[in-house]
Amino acid sequence: MDPTFWHARWQQGQIGFHRQDYHPKLERWWPQLELPPGARVLAPLCGKSLDLRYLAGRGHEVIGCELSPLAAEAFFAEAGLAPERSAAGKSERWSAQGISILVGDFFDLQASDTGPLQAFYDRAALVALPSALRRDYATRLATLMPAGTAGLLLALDYPDGALEGPPFSVDTAEVHDILGPNFTVESVQRNAAADVPAQLRAPGASTMYESVYRLTRR
């Protein structure tokens, strides 16, 4: 998917994927990872998600990655923070109060840009990518995460043709196929999506499912 697609979505305010609160499945399952305070957490394709603030509130150092500078600007403005900005490889780092957003392309991200990571949280990254990019995403994620690190992945799946996407349908078989070579994948919850955004309410959306996976880097 061309980056201009996402830049246009933010410029036009078409961000129905954004939640106005913490994701309940993050609140439910993140404590189960039993990470120590101070653990550095990667949040790919983070947008302006309030989940970054939840993670920081648990004492983590949060490293988001987001293509759109408008998203980063909105995140810090809405949090009442004035970030410091500096170069970070091919990205620009915006940082304040334990939260950094690397503004740039996730596929350019290097371990030297993020620093040592202990965990990751993917709420809407994998499902934002078309099938042609999802395996590359999984490979890049594996490159960034050291052995033994853990993470949560949230994914949606729905019948073919129900929605155009994004978000795209990524079922359990595909999660195991693309992430299984480098991660131990455990399905911890699957249920019908309770709050499908209005712009996603299309034929078949009523049978949309949301799954939570716990992953551990081998």
Indicate the Cα dihedral angle 131, 170, 32, 206, nearest 10°: 150
Q: Write the CB contacts of 157 (distance below 8 Å, at least 6 apart in sequence).
A: 169, 170, 171, 172, 208, 209, 211
Q: What is the mean pLDDT of residues 8-14?
A: 69
Predicted pLDDT at 12 = 73
Amino acid residing at 155 = A
Give first-to-last CA distance, the chain, whole Å.
Answer: 29
Q: pTM for the complete prediction?
A: 0.93
Q: Are residues 69 and 101 in the same domain?
A: yes
Q: Are residues 139 and 214 in the same domain?
A: yes
The whole domain housing 99 covers 38-117
Domain assignment present for residue 17? The answer is: no
Tell whether the model's pLDDT for residue 207 goes beyond 70. yes
Q: How many CB atoms lie within 10 A of CB 7?
A: 15
pLDDT digits (tens, 9 = 90+) for 88-127: 999 999 999 999 999 999 999 999 999 999 999 999 999 9
Where is average pLDDT lowest: 12-16, 33-37, 99-103, 191-195?
12-16
Q: Are residues 169 and 203 in the same domain?
A: yes
Q: Are residues 75 and 101 in the same domain?
A: yes
Domain assignment present for residue 126? The answer is: no
Tell whether the model's pLDDT for residue 204 goes beyond 80. no
CATH label of the domain that carries residue 97: 3.40.50.150
Predicted pLDDT at 146 = 97
The answer to whether 118 and 34 have CB atoms below 8 angstroms apart is: no
**CA distance linking residue 68 with residue 82, whole number of Å:** 17
Q: How many CB atoms lie within 10 A of CB 43?
A: 26
- The single residue listed with the structure tokens 């993020």 is 114
The answer to whether 199 and 214 have CB atoms below 8 angstroms apart is: no
Q: Which residue has the higher pLDDT, 25 or 192?
A: 25
Domain count, the chain: 2
The answer to whether 204 and 178 have CB atoms below 8 angstroms apart is: no
Q: Which residue has the higher pLDDT, 196 or 62?
A: 62
